[in-house]
């Protein structure tokens, strides 16, 4: 739903990546300790079954890895937690391809709304597990229960760690499967405009994906495929409507490259500064119409869904 963008999950994912990459707008705790964003939504097996962390961060400096799991509603899935409890260093090395030097110790960090920290800890205690519980407030992250294996993490997250969620970067992973179409269309349209201004003849779906998703290299392959499918559907929607003057699906090229490809349609043979200004202005008008239409369609679908739900009561 529109009201869920950016979602709790999307904000947390971008925050952790930004902290690993030393983004100037975020605390540098993870970067200083040598953590990198290793894999996003990679599914791999443990002794008790498969797990798929929201993100794996690892530090060869600390000999430590963190498997992050966040819950917007604070609900702890006991079956999932049992599977996480079965993850051992050998599983991180072979299943998640974590460097051996970062597998000396590991933690499963549960991030929940701050008000739900006690509830999460109660479930963990009943299961005799001591996973670190991190509470997310409006502008901070705080370690509320249990401890990480790395002292500096405990100190940093207990302070608490100030995080400006209201102004955080979202460019590392700007959308997910739950994001509304209009939110995805914005960065994709900007990407296409850049190609037009550069005078490129065409682009592939992979180029768009890599340019719009800053942390593309850290996405698991299954997640990359889901993102590409979403982008293909959106580009076809753009081509059929508001952006039809600018892009055209090149089916022959797709067959040659095994990648969906679009030609860029230049509306003038000119390439001077005035032409670029006109192009940017006209393209911006079309993009605005596109985003407004998608937003209205999303709102209408959401309203219809609420009515159907109320009708079932």
Sequence-distant (≥ 6) Cβ neighbours of residue 274 within 8 angstroms? none
- Give the C-alpha separation, 173 to 13, whole Å: 8
pLDDT at 50: 98
**CATH 3.40.1350, the chain: domain bounds:** 2-167
pLDDT bucket at 272, cuts 50 / 70 / 90 = confident
pLDDT bucket at 304, cuts 50 / 70 / 90 = low
Whether the Cβ atoms of residue 117 and residue 135 lie closer than 8 Å to each other: yes
Lowest mean pLDDT segment, chosen from 89-103, 182-196, 223-237, 256-270:
256-270
Whether the Cβ atoms of residue 262 and residue 206 lie closer than 8 Å to each other: no
Helix, strand or coil, per DSSP, at residue 11: helix
Sequence-distant (≥ 6) Cβ neighbours of residue 84 within 8 angstroms? 46, 51, 67, 69, 108, 131
For 167-178, the pLDDT digits (tens) are: 999 999 999 888
- Give the C-alpha separation, 65 to 169, whole Å: 24
Lowest mean pLDDT segment, chosen from 184-198, 253-267, 275-289:
253-267
- Give the C-alpha separation, 116 to 309, whole Å: 27
pLDDT at 178: 85
Asked if residue 303 has pLDDT above 70, the reply is no
- Pick the closest to residue 105 from 69, 60, 138, 75 (CA basis): 60
| Cis geometry, peptide bond prior to residue 160 (ω within 30 degrees of 0) | yes
pLDDT at 258: 81
- Pick the closest to residue 8 from 170, 132, 148, 120 (CA basis): 170
pLDDT at 1: 44
CA–chain centroid gap for 133, Å, is 21
Sequence-distant (≥ 6) Cβ neighbours of residue 224 within 8 angstroms? 209, 216
| Cis geometry, peptide bond prior to residue 263 (ω within 30 degrees of 0) | no
Structure tokens at 202: 């065409």
Asked if residue 3 has pLDDT above 70, the reply is no
Asked if residue 269 has pLDDT above 70, the reply is no
| pTM for the full predicted model | 0.90
For 112-156, the pLDDT digits (tens) are: 999 999 999 999 999 999 999 999 999 999 999 999 999 999 999
pLDDT at 234: 96
pLDDT at 298: 82
pLDDT bucket at 271, cuts 50 / 70 / 90 = low
- Give the C-alpha separation, 220 to 177, whole Å: 14
pLDDT at 158: 95
Percent of the chain with pLDDT over 70: 92
Helix, strand or coil, per DSSP, at residue 26: coil
Question: In CATH, what class is 2-167?
Answer: alpha beta
Percent of the chain with pLDDT over 90: 85
């Amino acid at each position: 739903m529109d009201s869920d963008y950016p979602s709790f999950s999307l904000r947390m994912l971008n925050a952790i990546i930004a902290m690993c990459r030393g983004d100037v707008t975020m605390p540098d705790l993870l970067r200083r300790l040598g953590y990198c964003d290793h894999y996003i939504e990679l599914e791999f097996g443990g002794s008790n079954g498969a797990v798929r962390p929201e993100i794996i961060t690892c530090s060869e400096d600390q000999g430590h890895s963190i498997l992050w799991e966040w819950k917007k509603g604070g609900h702890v899935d006991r079956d999932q937690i049992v599977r996480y409890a079965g993850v051992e260093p050998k599983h991180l090395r072979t299943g998640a391809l974590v460097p051996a030097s970062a597998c000396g110790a590991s933690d499963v960090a549960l991030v929940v709304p701050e008000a739900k920290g006690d509830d999460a800890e109660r479930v963990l205690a009943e299961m005799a597990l001591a996973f670190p519980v991190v509470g997310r407030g409006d502008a901070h992250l705080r370690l509320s229960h249990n401890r990480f294996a790395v002292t500096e993490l405990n100190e940093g997250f207990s302070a608490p760690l100030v995080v400006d969620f209201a102004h955080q970067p979202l460019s590392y992973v700007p959308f997910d499967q739950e994001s509304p179409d209009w939110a995805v269309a914005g960065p994709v349209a900007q990407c296409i405009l850049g190609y037009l201004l550069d005078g490129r003849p065409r682009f592939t779906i992979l180029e768009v994906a890599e340019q719009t998703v800053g942390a593309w290299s850290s996405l698991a392959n299954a997640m990359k495929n889901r993102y590409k499918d979403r982008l293909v559907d959106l580009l076809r929607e753009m081509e059929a409507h508001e952006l039809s003057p600018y892009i055209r699906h090149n089916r022959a090229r797709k067959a040659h490259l095994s990648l969906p490809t679009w030609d860029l349609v230049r509306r003038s043979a000119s390439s001077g500064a005035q032409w670029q200004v006109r192009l940017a202005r006209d393209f911006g008008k079309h993009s605005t119409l596109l985003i407004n239409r998608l937003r209205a369609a999303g709102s209408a679908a959401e309203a219809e869904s609420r009515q159907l739900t109320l009708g079932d009561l």
